[in-house]
């Protein structure tokens, strides 16, 4: 049977290729997978994809005629396996109708080793690309294929527009330079060399205790039933397990918590616990019951999404009802269990959807609204009951007047344009301005913007300090100075989409006079705080003569840092700047907590001021560090 023999040979060659090139294939899958999956699931999914890439039918053999790698040529089965890995990884970019089996890891979170600033910049650049574009980057820089070969492999993997993916990969390589391949081969992108950290230890311990308690109750009950019967010899009825009873009660629509209509006006806790239920279907027990049942046990066809760091576990007590109604033809229910918001949706002719977001420690502003519905290029807010007036404006045009935003009696707004997504042209940035009722606080308004999660993001502003080691506390970003600052920096928010961000503060930590022209410039540290705790920081520089809609220059980034917060008021930034005469200068600025600045390398200079400008050749290697009051050095934050 020649066909069977040829089939076995193909499969054996493919298996040998997987074993021989396993780390290489896993790295390829890891680069293509969506960053929104989170680092732990991304690592496990990459391994699962490669382990499931072994062909088993003639269909894969027919597609095995693919270009091999230039340089040392792998065995014949490798192109077939590589194409299968790409096909499976690209499919993860779409919501799966069923969950792929993954390697099982109990009690640990796995993630690749952290790299430096260059690896971080590349990771952020890759996050802004589509999955096919990331695949093109990997094939070009890791597999060393030429342009025609990349196009052929992408086409064989089922990419709809291989040319667009290739162009995006070329653009990224042009922006990052020739070191891209070396960075992709670093530990930051190696899912086979990982670090391990524990999961939530307290929750695991509580889970073990509950399991032991349940086992004891069940064992004792079984023993009693076996040892004794009823008066007529029949065993007595079994007593229900307390844990089972609590779980059943938590999913009972009749037990949903409902706040009184004016609870927000008579409480010291103005957050989601003060929301009263709204919507025409808030009393529809059938709809509410379906929402709770799907939350308790979502089927394979249910699309489940969660903000970064948000659990999707069922409720352990009856949740609070916030909304039940119809949004653009979709039945929607919003629930709150104290720590999370849960949005249940029933699109017509499509599977149900569940969306989770953390909201622990929400307050007057961060509980001021949630995203109740989305469409192509638009979204709607559900406004808190203590909001009396709502307007919108474009952050990129600080001088333009605000526009009224209509709110229906059930708290749902008219459609609002979505801010641009990653990689899109940043021509506008819509925000909503909400005004709180005087029954809560007098003359208070604040800005919210959408970054792709269920909860919008609170925008604040910190003016430059007039003296002292720390900045002024963040204030609402509604003043002319705050709006001008956000006009220059709003487009940098695209990199924070889907990251579970709670608030972003623009701190104008330094102002500087530019050499030759005497014009001014502002140094801004934008800090994005997430609901789970860690913050991300972007240092930006913009001359005051720039037009409001011109974006500031990003000169430094860091993640998981306390910088630019009350717990880390020290920051130093540096950039190269070209004067009108054509001369190049090194510009640097430190926050008020920095005592002096020190430049080393091709140029040496020290100043006791918090800003510095020194003439340097355009490509001269230099390092800038700030000297702190303790005598320690703080190096300038880099991209």
**What pLDDT does 74 receive?**
42
The secondary structure of 331-342, three-state, reads: EEEEEECCCEEE
| Rounded distance between C-alpha atoms, residue 414 and residue 190, angstroms | 46
When mean pLDDT is compared over 25-29, 73-77, 176-180, 310-314, the highest value belongs to 310-314
Residue 330, classified by CB atoms within 10 Å of its CB into exposed (0-12), middle (13-18) or buried (19+), is middle
Determine the average pLDDT of the residues in 431-456.
Answer: 94
pLDDT above 90: percentage of residues in the chain: 46
**What pLDDT does 430 receive?**
96
Determine the average pLDDT of the residues in 30-54.
Answer: 83
**What pLDDT does 507 receive?**
94
Read off the pLDDT band of 20 (50, 70, 90). confident
Residue 408 tokens, joined: 């229906």
Read off the pLDDT band of 51 (50, 70, 90). confident
**What pLDDT does 62 receive?**
38
**What pLDDT does 472 receive?**
63
Determine the average pLDDT of the residues in 100-119.
Answer: 63
53-85 pLDDT, tens digit each:
777 644 443 343 344 444 444 445 788 888 888
**What pLDDT does 465 receive?**
59
**What pLDDT does 407 receive?**
97
Instruction: Say if CB 484 and CB 436 are below 8 A apart.
Output: no
Read off the pLDDT band of 181 (50, 70, 90). confident
Single out the residue of 356, 351, 357, 248 nearest to residue 300, CA to CA: 351
The chain-wide mean pLDDT, for the chain, equals: 83
Determine the average pLDDT of the residues in 93-106.
Answer: 56
Q: Is the pLDDT of residue 615 over 70?
A: yes
Instruction: Say if CB 531 and CB 360 are below 8 A apart.
Output: yes
Determine the average pLDDT of the residues in 92-112.
Answer: 60
| Rounded distance between C-alpha atoms, residue 42 and residue 79, angstroms | 23
**What pLDDT does 524 receive?**
95
537-558 pLDDT, tens digit each:
999 999 887 777 788 999 999 9
204-247 pLDDT, tens digit each:
555 555 554 455 445 555 554 444 444 444 445 444 556 567 77
**Beta pairing partners, 525:** 507, 539
| Rounded distance between C-alpha atoms, residue 29 and residue 25, angstroms | 6
Q: Is the pLDDT of residue 21 over 90?
A: no
500-522 pLDDT, tens digit each:
999 999 999 999 999 988 789 99
Cα 132–chain centre separation: 20
Matching residue, tokens 């094939």: 139
Matching residue, tokens 């913050």: 535
354-391 pLDDT, tens digit each:
999 999 989 999 999 999 999 999 999 999 999 999 99
Determine the average pLDDT of the residues in 576-583.
Answer: 91
**What pLDDT does 63 receive?**
42
| Rounded distance between C-alpha atoms, residue 576 and residue 172, angstroms | 22
**What pLDDT does 161 receive?**
86
Least confident of 246-250, 362-366, 446-450: 246-250
**What pLDDT does 81 receive?**
85
**What pLDDT does 34 receive?**
85
**What pLDDT does 630 receive?**
87
- Who's near 21: CB < 8 A, 6+ residues apart? 74, 78, 81
120 or 252, which is more confident?
Answer: 252
**What pLDDT does 340 receive?**
95
- 104-131 burial code (b ≥16 CB/10 A, e <16): eeeeebbebeebeebbbbbbbbbbbbbb
Q: With the CA atoms of 539, 544, 547 and 551 taken in that order, what torsion angle do they form, in degrees rounded to the nearest 10?
A: -10
Determine the average pLDDT of the residues in 388-412.
Answer: 96
The secondary structure of 154-204, three-state, reads: HHHCCCCCHHHHHHHHHHHHHHHCCCHHHHHCCHHHCCCCEEEEECCHHHH
């Amino acid at each position: 049977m020649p066909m069977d023999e040829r089939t076995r040979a193909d499969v054996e060659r493919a298996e040998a290729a997987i074993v021989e090139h396993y780390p290489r294939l896993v790295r390829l899958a890891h680069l293509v997978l969506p960053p929104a999956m989170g680092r732990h699931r991304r690592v496990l999914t990459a391994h699962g994809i490669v382990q499931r890439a072994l062909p088993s039918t003639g269909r894969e053999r027919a597609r095995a005629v693919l270009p091999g790698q230039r340089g040392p040529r792998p065995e014949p089965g490798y192109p077939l396996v590589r194409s299968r890995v790409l096909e499976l990884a690209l499919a993860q970019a779409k919501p799966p109708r069923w969950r792929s089996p993954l390697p099982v890891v109990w009690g640990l979170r796995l993630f690749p080793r952290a790299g430096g600033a260059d690896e971080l910049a590349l990771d952020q650049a890759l996050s802004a690309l589509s999955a096919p574009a990331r695949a093109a980057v990997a094939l070009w820089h890791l597999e060393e294929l030429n342009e025609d070969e990349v196009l052929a492999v992408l086409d064989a993997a089922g990419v709809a527009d291989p040319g667009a993916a290739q162009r995006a990969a070329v653009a990224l390589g042009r922006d990052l330079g020739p070191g891209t391949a070396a960075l992709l081969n670093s530990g930051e992108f190696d899912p086979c060399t990982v670090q391990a950290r524990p999961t939530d230890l307290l929750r695991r311990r509580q889970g073990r205790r509950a399991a032991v308690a349940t086992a004891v109750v069940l064992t004792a009950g079984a023993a009693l039933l076996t040892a004794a019967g009823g008066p007529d010899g029949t065993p007595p009825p079994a007593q229900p397990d307390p844990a089972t009873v609590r779980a059943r009660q938590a999913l009972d629509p009749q037990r949903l918590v409902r706040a009184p209509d004016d609870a927000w006006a008579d409480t010291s806790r103005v957050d989601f616990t003060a929301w009263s239920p709204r919507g025409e279907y808030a009393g529809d027990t059938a709809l509410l019951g379906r929402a709770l049942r799907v939350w308790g046990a979502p089927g394979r066809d249910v699309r489940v999404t969660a903000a970064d760091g948000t659990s999707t576990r069922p409720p352990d007590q009856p949740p609070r009802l916030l909304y039940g109604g119809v949004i653009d033809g979709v039945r929607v229910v919003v629930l709150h269990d104290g720590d999370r918001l849960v949005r249940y949706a029933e699109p017509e002719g499509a599977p149900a959807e569940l969306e989770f977001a953390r909201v622990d420690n929400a307050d007057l502003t961060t509980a001021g609204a949630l995203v109740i519905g989305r469409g192509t290029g638009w979204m709607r807010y559900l406004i808190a009951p203590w909001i009396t007036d709502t307007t919108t404006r474009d952050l990129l045009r600080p001088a333009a007047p605000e526009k009224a935003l209509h709110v229906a009696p059930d708290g749902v707004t008219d459609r609002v344009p979505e801010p641009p997504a990653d990689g899109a042209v940043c021509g506008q940035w819509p925000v909503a301005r909400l005004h709180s009722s005087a029954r809560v606080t007098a003359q208070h308004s604040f800005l919210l913007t959408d970054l792709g999660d269920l909860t919008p993001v609170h925008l604040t502003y910190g003016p430059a300090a007039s003296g002292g080691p720390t900045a002024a506390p963040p204030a609402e970003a509604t003043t002319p100075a705050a709006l001008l600052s956000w006009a220059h920096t709003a487009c940098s928010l695209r990199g924070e989409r889907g990251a579970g961000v709670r608030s972003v503060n623009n701190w104008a930590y330094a102002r500087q006079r530019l050499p030759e022209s005497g014009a001014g410039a502002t140094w801004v540290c934008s800090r994005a705080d997430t609901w789970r705790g860690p913050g991300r920081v972007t240092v930006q520089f913009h001359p005051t003569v720039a037009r409001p809609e011109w974006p500031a220059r990003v000169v430094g980034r860091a993640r998981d840092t306390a910088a630019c917060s009350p717990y880390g008021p020290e920051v130093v930034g540096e950039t190269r700047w070209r004067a009108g005469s054509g001369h190049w200068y090194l510009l640097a600025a430190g926050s008020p907590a920095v005592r002096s600045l020190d430049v080393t390398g091709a140029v040496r200079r020290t100043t006791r001021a918090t800003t510095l400008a020194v003439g340097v050749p355009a490509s001269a290697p230099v390092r800038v560090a700030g000297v702190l009051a303790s005598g320690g050095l703080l190096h300038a934050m880099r991209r």
